[in-house]
């Protein structure tokens, strides 16, 4: 083609940048005179942050931690209902596409921005690639499930992290030429970050190292899903189990503002849990890698704990990442206080499963994605 192939990366929330970062790093760092390097030099990219979730106070350190440039566009759509947010992203992103004219839009994950930008691009006859495709919780009460299913339906390239994703897409009738099992870019970011810790190129915040260093064993907790934290009975049951863990080992809890508000409304006692403001990716990674146990309702932490070999209790009734259970260190414990408590006791008593590393979680998923992108003809 006469001009460079133009890629448009989209991220809507901070976790999305962990998935975008390794792909941008490969595009930026690849060099040489081999055929792949030559094709990469015939590509250019721009980065769009929809502003679906945006913490201006942490943005500088966040982008520095991940080694990616500031976004070319920040749409600042902010929060709102699912319909309001999705609509604002579509309206703002359409203007970007009409001005930038990219050949391929690359979306990641399953947030509202993912489906909004995918749909906007397809309406303008622009190709779409979905990173982290094929994951299914089979729970349509989850907004994320709707987002990822619809995004997969209209995407031209589907980059899959685990075999279950391939199986799900095939079962849904997706043609094999659209499906690419490439591994997990989140693990690329984790692998690179661990090297930076080892090389002394990055250190966790003093408050994190002081806290973790003062405890021989400790647990890390994250809770943010509305189905868990908005219901008094559910949250009280979860907190009862967390408190029982805190009776055995200290618990570090970087707390989401929404969760803190609900805890105060429900008057839940701390019971030895150390609460702190939300922390950045590198600080969280440092805390998790040294922990005895992680309790979470997050999707990404299920993957990261498996890669780190740290036992993880997923406080949900379902998971879209079954490989972390079948191969890794993850336990799906539901929201029952007794189930959480019993599984935590199993781990704390040294009887937890060891787990292993899923296929292609080797830190090179981004390289495979770039290889495929260079061979794709819009």
The residues pairing with 273 across neighbouring beta strands, listed in sequence order, are: 251
Residue 124 within any structural domain of the chain: yes
Instruction: Check: CB of residue 246 under 8 Å from CB of residue 239.
Output: no
Residue 17 within any structural domain of the chain: yes
Q: Quick one: CA torsion of 303, 304, 305, 307, rounded to 10 degrees?
A: 90
pLDDT recorded at residue 271: 86
Tens digit of each residue's pLDDT (9 = 90 or more) over 271-283: 889 999 988 889 9
Instruction: Show the domain range for 26.
Output: 5-183+361-375
The CATH number of residue 277's host domain is 3.40.50.2000
Same domain, 154 and 274: no
* Domains contained in the chain, number: 2
**Percent of the chain whose pLDDT exceeds 90:** 80
Tens digit of each residue's pLDDT (9 = 90 or more) over 211-263: 999 999 999 999 999 999 999 999 999 999 999 999 999 999 999 888 999 99
Per the annotation, the verdict on 224 as an active-site residue is yes
Same domain, 14 and 156: yes
* Mean per-residue pLDDT, 301-326: 98
pLDDT recorded at residue 12: 86
Distance of CA 199 to the CA centre of its chain: 25
Please give the Cα distance from 372 to 364 (Å, whole number): 13
Same domain, 207 and 336: yes
* Mean per-residue pLDDT, 279-294: 94
Question: Is residue 322 exposed (0-12), middle (13-18) or buried (19+ Cβ within 10 Å)?
Answer: buried
Judge whether residue 131 has pLDDT over 60.
yes
Same domain, 223 and 333: yes
Same domain, 164 and 305: no
Same domain, 271 and 335: yes
In the block, tokens 């618990």 appear at 251
The DSSP output letter for 70 is P
pLDDT averaged over every residue in the chain: 93
Same domain, 74 and 222: no
Same domain, 106 and 228: no
Same domain, 158 and 49: yes
* Mean per-residue pLDDT, 80-95: 94
**Catalytic entry in 101, 180, 215, 224:** 224
* Mean per-residue pLDDT, 334-359: 97
Please give the Cα distance from 350 to 157 (Å, whole number): 43
Question: How far is it between the farthest Cα atoms of the chain?
Answer: 66
Q: Per-residue confidence at 79, pLDDT binned at 50, 70, 90? A: confident
Residue 188 within any structural domain of the chain: no
Tens digit of each residue's pLDDT (9 = 90 or more) over 28-61: 887 666 777 778 888 999 999 998 665 554 455 6
- CA nearest to 373, candidates 28, 22, 12, 36: 36
Residue 227 within any structural domain of the chain: yes
* Mean per-residue pLDDT, 144-151: 97
pLDDT recorded at residue 2: 61
pLDDT recorded at residue 32: 67
The residues pairing with 108 across neighbouring beta strands, listed in sequence order, are: 131
The residues pairing with 11 across neighbouring beta strands, listed in sequence order, are: 49
Residue 191 within any structural domain of the chain: no
Q: Order of strands across the sheet with 293-296? A: 273-276, 251-254, 219-222, 293-296, 312-314, 330-332
Is the C-alpha dihedral spanning 222, 349, 304, 141 positive or negative?
Answer: negative
Same domain, 239 and 327: yes
């Amino acid at each position: 083609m006469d001009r460079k192939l133009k890629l448009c990366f989209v991220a809507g929330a901070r976790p999305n940048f962990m998935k975008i970062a390794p792909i941008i790093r490969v595009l930026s760092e690849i060099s040489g005179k081999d055929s792949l390097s030559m094709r990469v030099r015939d590509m250019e990219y721009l980065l769009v942050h929809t502003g679906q979730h945006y913490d201006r106070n942490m943005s500088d350190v966040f982008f520095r931690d991940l080694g990616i440039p500031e976004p070319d566009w920040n749409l600042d759509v902010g929060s709102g209902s699912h319909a309001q947010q999705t609509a604002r992203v579509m309206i703002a992103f359409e203007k970007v596409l009409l001005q930038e004219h990219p050949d391929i839009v690359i979306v990641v994950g399953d947030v509202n921005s993912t489906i909004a930008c995918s749909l906007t691009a397809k309406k303008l006859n622009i190709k779409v690639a979905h990173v982290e495709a094929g994951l299914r919780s089979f729970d349509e009460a989850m907004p994320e499930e709707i987002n990822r299913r619809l995004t997969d339906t209209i995407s031209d390239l589907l980059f899959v992290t685990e075999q279950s994703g391939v199986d799900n897409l095939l079962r849904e009738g997706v043609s094999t030429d659209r499906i690419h099992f490439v591994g997990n870019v989140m693990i690329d970011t984790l692998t690179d970050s661990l090297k930076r810790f080892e090389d002394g190129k990055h250190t966790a915040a003093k408050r994190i190292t002081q806290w973790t260093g003062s405890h021989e064993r400790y647990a890390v907790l994250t809770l943010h899903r509305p189905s868990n934290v908005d219901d008094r009975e559910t949250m009280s049951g979860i907190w009862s189990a967390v408190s029982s863990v805190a009776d055995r080992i200290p618990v570090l809890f970087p707390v989401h503002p929404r969760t803190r508000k609900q805890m105060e409304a429900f008057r839940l006692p701390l019971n030895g849990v150390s609460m702190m403001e939300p922390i950045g990716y590198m600080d969280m990674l440092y805390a998790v890698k040294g922990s005895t146990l992680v309790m979470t309702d997050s999707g990404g932490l299920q993957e990261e704990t498996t890669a780190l070999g740290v036992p993880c209790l997923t406080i949900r009734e379902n998971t879209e990442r079954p490989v972390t259970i079948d191969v890794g260190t993850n336990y799906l414990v539901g929201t029952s206080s007794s189930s959480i408590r019993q599984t935590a006791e199993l781990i704390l008593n040294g009887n937890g499963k060891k787990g292993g590393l899923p296929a292609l979680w080797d830190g090179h998923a981004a390289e495979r994605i770039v290889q495929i992108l260079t061979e794709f003809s819009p």
